[in-house]
Chains A and B, each alone.
Chain A
Amino acid sequence: MRKLEIRGSLKDLLAGAIFIAFGLFFAIGALQYNIGTPLRMGPGYMPLVLGGMMIALGAAIVVNGFLTGEPEPVGGIAVRPIVFIVTAFIFFGLTIRGLGVVPSLFVTTLIAALARERTSPQGALVIAIGLTLVSVVVFIELLHLRLQLWGPWLPF
């Protein structure tokens, strides 16, 4: 785990930056849609207004952080868990239709279990097998969700 020591009011600065970024994204994005008038608002009206207010709020948080923020360490960032868990979800989303529940979920839970540094590969394997079995029983046998166990990408 990488240590990222952030001092001062950087918590506020970073939070503000995220809000400003989203505000910009939505406000600028809204310009490609019809804005309309207050009477006949187009699809772009609300995102533009809300995005603009979001930018203002983000800026206010940044300023407030500089004025009143107290030094507070942000702490480490969970790089490994983020990478593994995001990968797990993306893998699941990409393969669930093609591979089916059993192989797709097995690999997904294997990747997810490894997000924890102290879990050994053998341990993760056991967790993945167990969870795949439990999920098949719960979701397919008990709850009858209409999901294929083995998908069309497989040769059998």
Chain B
Amino acid sequence: MEALDNLSLGIETALRLENVLWCFVGVALGTAVGVLPGIGPTATIALLLPITFHFEPVTALIMLAGIYYGAQYGGSTTAILINLPGESSSAVTAIDGHEMARDGRAGHALAAAAIGSFVAGSVATLVVFLVAQPLARIALTFGSPEVFALVVLGLIASIALARGSTLKALAMIFLGLLLGTIGQDQFTGTPRFTFGIRELFGGIDFVSVAVGLFGVAEILKNLEEERTRELVTRTVGRLLPGRDELRRIVGPVARGTVLGTALGILPGAGHVLASFGAYSVEKRVSPRKREFGHGVIEGVAAPESANNAAAQTSFIPLLTLGLPAHPVMALMFGAFVIHGIQPGPNVIRAEPELFWGLIVSMWVGNLLLLVLNLPLIGLWVRLLTIPYRILFPTIIAFAAIGTFSIGLNPWDVFAIAFLGVLGYFLIKFGCEPAPLLLGFVLGPLLEEHLRRSLIISRGNPSIFIERPVAAALLLLAVVALVLAVLPFIRRRREEIFLDEDEA
């Protein structure tokens, strides 16, 4: 009854008072930043990481995880009420959700989103619980060549699914890898690219990179073209849907959950893909095809279930393989490292309390979100009245103090400014920031295992082909890359995205 032991250990840990409390703070903050346009979960987690330093590791991770899936909830609120998706994964929710709101049925849409998210989140958490251990067992047999191959596959796969130029995404990974080489070499201790500045010997802090790329670059972009935000606070209306509507969302929630759970495991924009996919599936199978786009409840329930399920299962690669699937997971990766834990298959064995506690806390968090969201919807909407002229200096103040407090190192603060400006221009020129962060976080791991593999093989690169698992993983990476670059597939992919945009 190993599973039961794990479950009870998880419940015991997750229900400890301070953990419930910080889980609550996490999901509340997550909802807030999900609602607020102009600051997303990646920037928020990066901003708040420094203050979790003095927490117990499990408490810190529970709170940071809460911010992430809390933001998925919050994003749907603004999508429905003011047609402004707070998160990219809520973009499809806005289509029918906002129509419902204009129809005076905002309450029903919000309730459908919340209920769907809760069901999906619960199911997906169960999947994480069941899948994690077997996967980790496999990963435990990996040696350096396999880990190297896995990291390569993870990096490539994360860009194969993203939209936009594959070449640029690839270049962003390399830029991340290169920036990651700054600081002392792990093997010889030689300081690289530090210009003799002692403060740079430890390298650039990943918090600076994340805050710069996702916080400051975003601020610069917003200040460049300042839009006045229309504030349409409508009456939310009756919250609880009638029995008929509840029956209508059962199917969409179930299908959305399955799709989201599956796609969430994939590296890259799994949760965005999941919500788009769930919406188009519903549109195809629904008897009310024609009403889609004009405010059907199915069009809200399905994508919201999908993106929340995906948010939970995207923890699987991180927790079992030590491979972050997207920027938020890259930050969670860093959070583990800060607390002295190498994320990966060892975590289950070495830190069972943390591992199972974190998973159970996701269910606790989903429950808290359900309780937190529906009755307090008015409060969340009022957050939108916070003017940007106050919001952005707040982000800058928190970024400066928080990052400085990590190592009392002024260069960490300078690095924010550098990466903010660099990120602003790169985003302007059509490059997505996510691959850079992934490359940066995984760079040291990649170099370490490449060098180790080649020491094992006495400098012979054929070790990556002779070991079957490593060879298979690398082959998969090559296939993913070729598929992403091939013009035919690319066009097809753009079409899929276009199709959804017009939907």
Contacts and interface: CB of A to CB of B under 8 A. Distances in A.
Interface in A1-47: 1, 11-12, 14-15, 18-19, 22-23, 26, 29-30, 33-34, 37-44, 46-47
B144 to A, nearest CB: 13
Interface residues of A, number: 76
B430 to A, nearest CB: 5
A92 B413 contact: yes
Interface in B176-199: 177-178, 181, 185, 187-188, 190, 192-193
B454 A39 contact: yes
B424 interface: yes
Question: Of B220, B221, B400, B451, which is in contact with the most chain A CB atoms at under 10 Å from its CB?
Answer: B400
Nearest to A60: B167
A119 B391 CA distance: 13
B397 A78 contact: no
Contacts of B168: 15, 61
Contacts of A22: 175, 178
Q: For this complex, into which size category does the number of interface residues on chain B fall?
A: 35 or more
A116 B226 contact: yes
Contact of A38 (B175, B225, B420, B459): B459
A88 to B, nearest CB: 6
Interface in B208-225: 216, 219-221, 223-225
Interface string B51-62: 100100000000
A135 B389 CA distance: 17
A81 interface: yes
Nearest to A128: B393
A46 to B, nearest CB: 5
Contact of B397 (A11, A53, A61, A108): A108
A85 B458 contact: no
A47 B181 contact: yes
A118 B226 contact: yes
Contacts of A131: 393-394, 397
B404 interface: yes
Given A89-B400, A93-B404, A131-B394, A14 B429 contact: yes
B413 A93 contact: yes
Nearest to B195: A29
B1 interface: no
A18 B224 contact: no
B193 A135 contact: no
Interface of A: 1, 11-12, 14-15, 18-19, 22-23, 26, 29-30, 33-34, 37-44, 46-47, 50-51, 53-54, 57-58, 60-61, 64, 74-78, 80-82, 85-86, 88-90, 92-94, 96-97, 101, 105, 108-109, 112-113, 115-119, 123, 127-128, 130-132, 134-135, 139, 143-147
9 contacts: A41-B450, A47-B178, A61-B165, A78-B220, A78-B221, A86-B420, A135-B398, A143-B51, A146-B405
